[in-house]
Amino acid sequence: MSKIIIGPFNRVEGDLEVQLEIEAQKVTSARVNSTLFRGFESMLQGRPLGDALVYAPRICGICSVSQSVAAAQALSQIYGISPPENGQRAINLMLANENAADLLTHFYLFFMPDFARGIYKDRTWFSDSQKRFKAMQGVSSARAIEARSHWLKMMGTLAGHWPHTLAIQPGGCSRSLNDAEVMQMLLYAQKLRHFLENSLLHDKLENFLALENEADLQSWQQQHADSDLGLFIAIATDLSLHELGKSDALLMSYGSFPESNGQRLIPSGVYRNGEFHLLNPSHIQEDISHANYQGDIHSSPWHQAQMPLLDNPDAYSWCKAPRLKGEVAETGSLARQVMAKQPLILDLIQRYGSCVYSRILARTLELVKLTVQVESWLQQGFSETGHFFTEPGDIVHQRGVGLIEAARGSLGHWLEVKNNRIYSYQIIAPTTWNFSPRDQQNTPGALEKALENTPLYDGETDPVNVQHIVRSFDPCMVCTVH
Amino acid sequence: MNILWFQSGGCSGCTLSFLGLEEMDLIEWSRSMQLNWLWHPSLTEHSGSETQAMLDAVLKDEIKLDIFCLEGSVIMGPKGSGRFHMLAGTETPAKELIERLSEKADYVLAVGTCAAFGGITASPPNTVEATGLQYDQNFAGSLLPTNFKSRAGLPVINISGCPVHPGWVAETIGLIRFQKLKTEHLDPYNRPRFYADKLVHHGCSRNEYYEYKASAVKPSDLGCMMEHMGCVGTVAHADCNERPWNGNGSCTKGGYPCVDCTSPDFGHLNHSYQETPKIGNIPVGLPSDMPKAWFIALSTLAKSATPKRLKINAISERIEISPEIKRKKL
Ligand code: SF4
Ligand code: SF4
């Protein structure tokens, strides 16, 4: 058996280290370490409530709006209010815009460049992949960056700027929007559609969304082999990415995008071995047996440890281990699209489980779906007489929880108030779930499990399969630890 | 030019903002600036041992480092050890590497308020002992001493902002590329003057409300946010209302106050960010270069002359009263 430590990783947000035990060219065990601690939760203690909206987005520069939405939702429960219809739609648009921008960035800039690495130079697809995706050179990557900047112009209109807006408030949105502005935003949305249709798919978004299973997808690939996604599917088949990075964790979604009919576009729930269950948020606990904190080993987010402790011999990460009634959960696009019972993704999960291939396809599909959804929201527009903002009155509850879906998965903020000030603030981010360390039972987190049995190539120092698996989760270490 | 971008105690937001550069996509821009990226945490290819080998080569002067960018604060804790951020895959505290790389670079750029002054990451209680690269809030001298100069003879260039505007970074690097950035182009906090010599108030779409002290009282109102909602655009050094963000945006256009995110004090406010502290009815923070008595006299006069249009619109979500159309007598 040999041991290797890999780090630093790039094309993941923040600093990440992975320790592997290897035997006969296979990973036998993995430990994942987030190496940076900042202490946001203690910064918020004792501050005025509204300051949560200044601090929360700055937890993470890539899902900053998601952090704001979670904070605003927790605050809205404290005040016992909810945003008016227009305000909620504006917030949904901001969240969808950010999620889509993240999914786009992940595919083109973080994930695909690994297939342009020298180790693949003998593969038939190599020169094509290199031309399109090579880091800081690829033609498709360059076009994706351009498409992303255009798409984010929607944020200028909705949110003042991105990242780090204060436009998302417990009572709604600080900016009212008129029809002319909606027309402008529709053009930004259509620009993204053009990019996706001309580069990612070489097909209409709607045609792609109509695929129902793996067989459909494979025949679609034959007809659109020269699109960016067509190339990915060819690579995935060649490298058997459906066998790589399997996690057996349950899939979890908090649900997202509340609509005026009281329904949410993405439902909340849990998926375990082919069955759907309701999610009970009071089953969420965090375990710090292998994390650098002092306090109770196991506790609910209302009583969580925040103070660092560097001399626990078992600890190897700043990430805590969240568990749902003791179970490991995986979260992200795949979990959401399974929960939404999206036919193609349901078929993939039933065939292959959660693996590199299904995670990436779920993300791509969600990117396409969100683009169409944003267009449709904009075509419906806002009510001309309705409001964007409801003024909060007095504090009516001492506790509020914001449970939302960031691009990378389920994000929760637990906020408790005393004497008009923030008494405690606890954050569990998507990657805290996915990249969790071991718990008291020594059960590995989702990525740790997904890395087990990974085959390595001869003489690799930074195994490329490990790179694929790590990035297939679209990890964000700055959120994870905060 | 070889450029190396490193992240420590921050949120990656400055990188993600920079990636949104609108004039040109970042790949084409890098080409036209003849930048060779030795490493960028979000953008370059190699990881792990290859990255460590590259860092070694820079530290041994085998690879020239033209521009070193730090994003995020320097993490000094616990007790000066830097162990709250160890560079992954190494036994090295990030702060050690940051210090050594700074000594090798022609130009050192602190990108964003965290790297420049400590920022939000250094917010009290500052458990992690976060600080800026050459400044700790508004005190010069932190990880790098007050008299630190990079190889080209400049102090750390503080492109502060939370997040940074992509144009601020791109133009600073452009000026370096064409050797046009001199010490005198930096303000007293070493921020590039091209944006730090402006005030956020310049060009704010709410200026007319400001003139008449027609003030917003809650988010979504159209009025000026100085009197009640914590806007410090009249003292905040940045060109945010002259240079649009993400197409057409700015904080004040977005309906929320400027919270002075480019300042060395950002993250250290001792009152609520979204409320204006007042003594009596007078806001505590007055506009730059304005004596208090003048401000009071002018505001009283302005308030007495506020047109109804502005009074009403200031507290509305939409324009309720349109400006009168003046017809010319022919
Ligand atoms: S909102 Fe702020 S920046 Fe705009 S006019 Fe008022 S004080 Fe100036
Ligand atoms: S308007 Fe103020 S808070 Fe907003 S980005 Fe500019 S300087 Fe920062």
CATH code at position B303: 4.10.480.10
Domain co-membership, B145 together with B206: no
Residue B290: band (very low, low, confident or very high) from pLDDT cuts 50, 70, 90: confident
Task: Indicate the range of A163-172, A300-309, A427-436, B153-162 predicted with least confidence.
Answer: A300-309
Instruction: Please identify, among B197, B224, B253, the residue that sits at the C-terminal boundary of a domain.
Output: B197
> Per the domain annotation, does B24 fall within a domain?
yes
> CA A4, CA A450: separation in Å to the nearest integer?
17
Final residue in a domain of this structure, among B156, B174, B197: B197
How does DSSP assign A219-231, residue by residue? HHHHHTTTSHHHH
Helix, strand or coil, per DSSP, at residue A329 = strand
Task: Report the domain count for chain B.
Answer: 2
Which domain, by its residues, includes B233? Answer: 202-318
* Closest to B98 (Cα-Cα) out of B18, B189, B9: B9
**Interval B273-284 mean pLDDT:** 87
DSSP state, B46? -
CA of B213 to the centre of ligand 2 (A): 21
Name residues whose C-beta falls within 8 Å of residue B187's C-beta, 6 or more positions apart in sequence: B193, B196, B197, B237
Distance A476 CA to ligand 2 centre (A): 25
- C-alpha to C-alpha distances, A124 to A120, A127, A133, A371, A447, nearest whole angstrom: 9, 8, 15, 32, 30
B237 Cα nearest atom in ligand 2: 7
For residue B47, the model assigns a pLDDT of 86
Q: How many CA atoms lie within 13 A of B305 on its CB side?
A: 10
**Is B14 labelled a binding residue?**
yes
Q: A38 and B28: CB-CB below 8 Å? A: no
Please say whether the beta carbons of B245 and A167 come within 8 A.
no
In chain B, at which residue ranges do the beta strands (DSSP E only) sit? Answer: 2-7, 36-39, 65-71, 74-75, 105-111, 130-131, 135-136, 139-140, 157-159, 278-279, 282-283
Distance from CA of A25 to the nearest CA of B (A): 19
Nearest to B75 by CA among B15, B109, B122: B122
Q: Supply the pTM of this predicted model.
A: 0.97
Known binding-site residue numbers of A for Fe cation: 63, 479
Whether residues B157 and B242 fall in one domain: no
ipTM: 0.96
Answer whether A61 sits within 8 Å of B16, measured CB to CB.
yes
Domain span including residue A375: 2-479
**B66/B77 Cα distance (integer angstroms):** 29
B225: in domain: yes
* Residue-level pLDDT at B29: 97
pLDDT tens digits, B7-21 = 999 999 999 999 999
If you average pLDDT over residues B146-152, what whole number do you get?
98
Total tally of structural domains belonging to chain A: 1
CA of B327: how far to CAs of A459, B310, B321, B323, B330, in Å? 83, 21, 18, 12, 9
Same domain membership, residue B41 and residue B136: yes
Instruction: Compute the mean pLDDT over every residue in chain A, rounded to the nearest whole number.
Output: 96
Residues B214 and B241 reside in one and the same domain? yes
- Atom in ligand 2 nearest the alpha carbon of residue A161: 5
Taking the C-alpha atoms of residue A97 and residue A186, their distance in angstroms, rounded to an integer, is: 12
CATH of the domain at A470: 1.10.645.10
From first CA to last CA, the distance across chain B in angstroms is 64
In a domain? residue B167: yes
CATH code of residue B47: 3.40.50.700
- Single-letter code of the amino acid located at A409: G
Which residue among B142, B164, B197 closes a domain? B197
Q: Is B140 found in the same domain as B58?
A: yes
A475 preceded by cis ω (within 30°)?
Answer: no
Residue A399, burial from CB neighbour count under 10 angstroms (0-12, 13-18, 19+): middle
Q: How far apart (Å, rounded) are the C-alpha atoms in residues A141 and A451?
A: 27
Helix (H, G, I), strand (E, B) or coil at A283: helix
What pLDDT, in 10s, does the model give residues A186-239? 999 999 999 999 999 999 999 999 999 999 999 999 999 999 999 999 999 999
